[in-house]
Structure 1
């Protein structure tokens, strides 16, 4: 397992905005999960109109081969296969009446669908 802590510079596997971290940590705490160990799993799966889609879920701990990124009090777990597609991405959270939720800004995506939930590399 590789672990990265970001303090604003360098090549980080995945960047987490403060708003995304705050929202995810709040949700983890709402599930009574220990934020010192548990985290948000970010992964890629087959599906969506563009071929690949993003997935997210909470996990109690990382797997042995995960990359673990710690930023703004949030731990993010990414498996090696998913890292091939989302390395260098930024996890963002946008609030509001429409389109509220987590979004992945992925520089590796050649194209994405209109809703932004699936992509192609």
Structure 2
């Protein structure tokens, strides 16, 4: 795992999450050397805050930029304080497949795990 910023990694990404995200990025026709996965926090959800993810062509000014298993991850400065120290994983099981954020900063999560409170 290498970091492309001088800061510590805001988020750790598991190999399975990176592999899945890279597959999806390639499927969208995006250049994985420049584009990346943006992880952000927004108001909403039953617990107050929720995670958001999308693919971006390139980072924005002020982003924390890290690389994990070949995947570039972008986190904006306002979201970083909520997700710092988190692990992003990809789970594929009986209840469905998807990305999951394990966040040590969350004091509580809603029952579905989609929103949290700090």
TM-score by length of 1: 0.90
Counterpart mapping for 1:1-121 below 5 A: 5=2, 11-121=8-118
Once superposed, which parts of structure 1, at least 4 consecutive aligned residues long, lie more than 6 Å away? Answer: none
What is the count of residue pairs matched by the alignment? Answer: 114
CA offset digits 1:94-120 (Å, max 9, x no partner):
012313100000000000001100000
Report the more deviating stretch, 75-84 or 11-20. Answer: 11-20
Gaps of 5+ in 2: none
